[in-house]
């Protein structure tokens, strides 16, 4: 009996059995991988934080600091085990040059400190708390990963030279999500660099018990101690460390959910078809007194077999692939191979998939309960609960061709059957549209004004030299007389100190000059005029808590200066934190100058750029197109690549699922297909019916997916771009592409897949299905 059912089933759907096996394998592999990754990540974070002795509570502070008072607090408080104040010099990114390249475009706040003596160690790649020699610089591991620094590189910081001696794991600030990074230098070098930046303090505590943390936080706050800056606790450090790899694990889990869903779909279809085929036998088995659970067992055996095989394969594969995915964790947090636990949990993941599959099969088999012997004999098939579409009557149809009508009606009548395919199409339409629109938007020429770059033709950067103001004047004198240049503007970036509401101070870079010549796009307000106005980048406005109309107080050469915020704009340059103003400055602290120019004849950009580059060797001259290509090119092209990859992936998945779905559907519907044929419907008629079903699902999916992409998707993309500093984001979509080509691009392969998937209708014989 077992043998007959299993063999009959396997024969009937070799392809479907194989596909089911494939998806079960993939699901088991992914779930097992995420289990392995989770254990390793958790273990690695623990090891790192234990080795580094990460503080349980840390208060960042800038400004005055009363060491004696803090020490007294720490000694009196019974919860404190250890206490220290670390110093940290924040150096302007433009003044940090590693291997000849400055970190000016880096979004992190980079700072320097010395090795701690008590806890919160900065560890080298062997997990040891290194103490650098004079002239040695240890660089955050993130800069090794992204290729910013290599061992042996020369680093120039605020004019002083160092050699990159190695890399650091920082249990606090490892993650790119932590917005600061700590470099390590020797005590002696630290003193030398101290004057080149602003000092911040890390007030750190380790408690006797971590569980006292909540109470301790209260103690600290109510003692009214130094608190100008964020405070961070041990659990938060842990979360920061877990975040990026955790995200990867979440994505893997998400994908595995999708895969499990497809596996469920395969199983559901094969089972339903089998049940329909065997209804009469099942009715008879019930009639002779077999229990439902006994009958279930007969069918469960096959799927338990497939699930077991798939899970075993998937588990084995996860062991092969885990190395690849563990690399990142190993790099950032050091190896932590608790081999036996890893293997066990991976196995646990695979077992989970096995249980899910067999559980699902068991549930679908619950339909046996509904088969009554009488019904089985009378209809020969189980009666699906037909949902709705009853109002769609053939006799009332004047509009559609009969075959098309039958197809559409079937979709409406058996909605739950088509949900899987609909979901896949919606996801595909969404995933194809969003990156594509994002790419079109950021690749559009107008987008650079979103990014804080004026729409000009030529750009001269003068930086890392002295006497910047004089040099800029030299250039403009020539431009003034140059007939090929129609307009130009000099924008000089200087560093100022802002007084915040609470009295704290913060450094801010302001680009001074005439901002009306080459305006950027203002999310709110407008460009600053010559008076007491300032425009802030979105990130700065957020950080300073300012709106248009608010007043900002700057300290400049001993005097204070009140400026009204007149506009807020998007900027992705210089880490997104910039400001624009037009007041005359005291030339106190010029960091760099940029001269923008518009040419009479834009086609000559290359030649004119060359001319200026030859003449002014201190300036970096580039065409703006070239500048944009250099600065944003990699981002734009990686979004373009991501979009193309997304399109290909989604098309592949849609085609695969459609072929599979249609095959399953035809297999399930063999009986009604045979009946249709006996009534004189041709194979072509049947293909039209199935085509209409696919087209109905496809149309609904594309419409829903496109709507979602342009609402939810736009908001997601906006949030993503906003996190880099560009605000008021809207898709620049080419309507023809978005509403015609994209849908067609998805529709054509899916419809072709439908034709391939339904070719099986031709092989269904009448005699094989309705002969008595």
Q: Of 641 and 682, which has the nearer Cβ to other proteins?
A: 682
Q: Which does 465 bind (CB under 5 to 8 A by kind): other proteins, Mg ion, ligand ADP, none?
A: none
Using CB under 8 A as the binding criterion, the count of chain residues that bind other proteins stands at 39
Of 410, 533, 571, 598, the one binding other proteins (CB under 8 A) is: 410
Q: From CA 273, how far away is CA 267, in angstroms rounded?
A: 10
Stretch that binds other proteins, among 195-203, 394-402, 696-704, 706-714 (CB under 8 A): 394-402
Pick from 38, 44, 45: which is nearest to 318 by CA? 38
Partner touching 675 among other proteins, ligand ADP, Mg ion, none, CB below 5 to 8 Å by kind: other proteins
DSSP 713: I
Which residues have CB under 8 Å from 80's CB, separation 6+?
A: 74, 205, 206, 207, 208, 216
Nearer to other proteins, 130 or 376 (CB): 376
Determine, following the binding rule CB under 5 A, whether residue 64 of this chain makes contact with Mg ion: no
- In the list Mg ion, ligand ADP, other proteins, none, the entry touching 551 (Cβ below 5 to 8 angstroms by class) is none
The residue of the chain with the least Cβ separation from Mg ion equals 772
* 379 near other proteins, rule: CB under 8 A: yes
Tokens at residue 112, please? 């320097």
Neighbours of 435 (CB within 10 A): 23
The one of Mg ion, ligand ADP, other proteins, none whose footprint includes residue 284, by CB under 5 to 8 A per kind, is none
**498, 552 Cβ separation under 8 angstroms:** yes
Go through 362-376 and write b for each residue having 16 or more CB atoms within 10 A of its CB, e for each that does not: bebbebbeebebeeb
Q: Nearer to ligand ADP by C-beta: 14 or 771?
A: 771
Q: In angstroms, rounded to a whole number, what is the distance separating the alpha carbons of residues 481 and 485?
A: 9
Total residues interacting with Mg ion, rule: CB under 5 A: 1
The CA-atom distances, in angstroms, between 400 and each of 343, 397, 406, 689, 690 are 59, 7, 9, 12, 15
Distance, in Å, from the CA atom of 632 to the CA atom of 674, rounded to the nearest integer, reads 60
Cβ-Cβ contacts under 8 Å for 392 (sequence gap 6 or more) = 405, 408, 409, 412, 413
The answer for residues whose C-beta is within 8 angstroms of residue 244's C-beta and 6 or more apart is: 175, 176, 177, 328
Q: Is 466 in the site for Mg ion (CB under 5 A)?
A: no
CA angle 582, 584, 586 (to 5 degrees): 135
402 binds, among ligand ADP, other proteins, Mg ion, none (CB under 5 to 8 A by kind): other proteins
- Closer by beta carbon to other proteins, 79 or else 409: 409
> Looking at 394, 551, 600, 712, which residue binds other proteins (CB under 8 A)?
394
Q: What percent of the chain is helix, strand and coil (3-state, nearest 5)?
A: 55, 20, 25
**Sequence-ordered strand ranges (E) for 485-550:** 485-499, 505-513, 522-525, 533-537
- Residue whose CB is less far from other proteins, 401 or 562: 401
SS3 378: helix
Which secondary structure element, helix H or strand E, spans residue 570, and what is its range? none
Residue closer to Mg ion by CB (options 419, 770) is 770
Give the residues lining the site for ligand ADP (CB under 6 A): 767-768, 771-772
Q: How big is the chain, counted in residues?
A: 772
Residues 372-431 that bind Mg ion (CB under 5 A): none
Q: Give 278's contacts (C-beta < 8 A, 6+ positions apart).
A: 5
**Single residue of 11, 14, 481, 771 touching other proteins by CB under 8 A:** 771
Piece in contact with other proteins (CB under 8 A), picked from 106-114, 382-390, 611-619, 633-641:
382-390
Q: Which of 126, 480, 502, 772 binds Mg ion (CB under 5 A)?
A: 772
Stretch that binds other proteins, among 263-271, 376-384, 499-507, 745-753 (CB under 8 A): 376-384
Residue 678 forms beta bridges with which residues? Answer: none
Q: By CB under 5 A, which span of 234-242, 504-512, 711-719, 764-772 interacts with Mg ion?
A: 764-772
How near is the Cβ of 766 to Mg ion at its closest, in Å? Answer: 13
- Among residues 230 and 768, whose Cβ is nearest to ligand ADP? 768
Smallest gap from Cβ 8 to ligand ADP, in A, equals 13
The answer for residues whose C-beta is within 8 angstroms of residue 610's C-beta and 6 or more apart is 621
Q: Give the shortest CB-283-to-Mg ion separation in angstroms.
A: 19
Question: For the chain, first and last CA: distance in Å?
Answer: 23
| Three-class secondary structure of residue 621 per DSSP | strand
Give the one entry of Mg ion, ligand ADP, other proteins, none that residue 414 binds, where binding means its C-beta sits below a cut-off of 5 to 8 angstroms depending on kind: other proteins
Binding at 741: pick from other proteins, Mg ion, ligand ADP, none (beta carbon under 5-8 Å per type): none
| CB distance 93 to 106 below 8 Å | yes
Contact mark string toward Mg ion, 299..328, x via CB under 5 A:
------------------------------
Q: Say whether residue 377 binds other proteins (CB under 8 A).
A: yes
Site string for other proteins, 666-685 (x = CB under 8 A): ------x--xxxxxxxxxxx
Among 50, 154, 401, 723, which residue sits at the site for other proteins (rule: CB under 8 A)? 401
Residues that bind Mg ion (CB under 5 A): 772
Residues that bind other proteins (CB under 8 A): 377-380, 383-384, 386, 389-390, 393-395, 397-398, 401-403, 409-410, 413-414, 672, 675-685, 765-767, 770-772
């Amino acid at each position: 009996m077992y043998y007959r059912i299993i063999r009959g089933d396997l024969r009937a759907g070799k392809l479907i059995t194989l596909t089911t096996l494939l998806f079960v394998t993939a699901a088991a592999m992914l779930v097992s991988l995420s289990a392995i990754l989770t254990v390793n990540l958790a273990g690695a974070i623990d090891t790192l934080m234990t080795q580094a002795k990460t503080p349980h509570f840390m208060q960042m502070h800038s400004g005055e600091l009363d060491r004696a008072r803090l020490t007294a607090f720490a000694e009196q408080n019974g919860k404190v085990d250890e206490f220290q104040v670390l110093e940290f010099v924040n150096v302007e990114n433009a003044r940090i040059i590693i291997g000849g390249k400055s970190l000016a475009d880096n979004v992190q706040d980079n700072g320097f400190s010395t090795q701690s003596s008590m806890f919160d160690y900065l560890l080298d790649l062997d997990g040891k708390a290194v103490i650098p020699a004079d002239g040695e610089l240890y660089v955050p591991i993130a800069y090794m990963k992204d290729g910013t620094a290599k061992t042996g590189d020369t680093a120039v910081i605020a004019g002083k030279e160092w050699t990159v001696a190695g890399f650091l794991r920082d249990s606090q600030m490892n993650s790119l999500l932590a917005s600061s990074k700590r470099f390590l230098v020797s005590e002696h070098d630290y003193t030398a660099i101290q004057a080149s930046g602003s000092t911040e303090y890390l007030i750190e505590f380790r408690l006797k018990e971590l569980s006292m943390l909540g109470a301790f936080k209260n103690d600290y706050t109510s003692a009214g101690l130094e608190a100008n800056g964020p405070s961070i606790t041990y659990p938060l450090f842990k979360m920061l460390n877990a975040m990026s790899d955790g995200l990867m694990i979440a994505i893997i889990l998400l994908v595995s959910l999708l895969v499990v869903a497809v596996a469920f779909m395969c199983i559901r279809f094969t089972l339903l078809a089998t049940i329909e085929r065997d209804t009469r036998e099942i009715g008879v088995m019930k009639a002779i007194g077999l229990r439902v659970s006994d009958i279930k067992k007969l069918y469960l055996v096959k799927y338990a077999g497939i699930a077991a095989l798939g899970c075993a394969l998937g588990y084995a594969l996860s062991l092969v692939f885990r190395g690849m995915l563990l690399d990142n964790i190993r790099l950032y947090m050091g190896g932590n191979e608790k081999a036996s636990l890893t293997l066990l949990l991976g196995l646990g993941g695979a077992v989970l998939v096995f249980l899910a599959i067999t559980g699902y099969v068991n549930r679908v088999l619950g339909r046996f309960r509904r088969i009554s012997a009488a019904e089985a004999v009378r209809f020969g098939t189980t009666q699906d609960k037909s949902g709705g579409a009853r109002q769609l009557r053939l006799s009332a149809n004047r509009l559609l061709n009969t075959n098309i009508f039958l197809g559409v009606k079937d979709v409406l009548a058996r909605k739950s059957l088509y949900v899987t395919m609909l979901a896949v199409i919606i996801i595909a339409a969404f995933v194809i549209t969003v990156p594509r629109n994002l790419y079109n938007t950021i690749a559009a020429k107008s987008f650079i004004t979103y990014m804080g770059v004026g729409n000009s033709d030529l750009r001269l950067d003068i930086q890392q030299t002295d006497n910047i103001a004089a040099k800029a004047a030299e250039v403009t004198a020539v431009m003034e007389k140059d007939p090929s240049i129609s307009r130009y503007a000099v924008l000089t970036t200087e560093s100022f100190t802002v007084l915040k509401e609470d009295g704290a101070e913060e450094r801010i870079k302001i680009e001074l000059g005439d901002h009306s010549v080459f305006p950027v796009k203002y999310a709110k307000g407008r460009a600053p005029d010559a008076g007491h106005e300032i425009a802030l980048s979105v990130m700065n406005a957020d950080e300073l808590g300012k709106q248009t109309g608010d007043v900002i107080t700057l300290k400049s050469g001993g005097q204070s200066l009140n400026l009204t915020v007149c506009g807020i704009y998007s900027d992705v340059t210089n880490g997104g934190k910039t400001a624009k103003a037009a007041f005359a400055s005291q030339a106190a602290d010029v960091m760099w100058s940029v001269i923008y120019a518009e040419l009479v004849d834009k086609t000559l950009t290359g030649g004119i750029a060359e001319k200026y580059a030859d003449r002014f060797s201190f300036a970096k001259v580039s065409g703006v197109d070239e500048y944009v290509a250099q600065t944003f090119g990699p981002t734009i092209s990686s979004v373009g690549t991501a979009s193309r990859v997304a399109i290909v992936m989604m098309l592949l998945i849609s085609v695969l699922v459609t072929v599979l779905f249609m095959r399953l559907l035809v297999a399930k519907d063999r009986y009604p297909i045979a009946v249709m044929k006996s009534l004189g419907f041709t194979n072509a008629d049947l293909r039209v019916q199935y085509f209409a079903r696919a087209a109905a699902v496809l149309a609904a999916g594309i419409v829903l997916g496109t709507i979602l992409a342009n609402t939810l998707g736009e908001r997601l993309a906006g949030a993503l771009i906003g996190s880099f500093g560009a605000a008021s984001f809207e898709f620049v979509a080419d309507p023809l592409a978005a509403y015609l080509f994209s849908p067609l691009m998805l529709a054509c392969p899916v419809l072709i897949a439908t034709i391939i998937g339904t070719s099986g209708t031709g092989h269904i014989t009448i005699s094989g299905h309705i002969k008595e």
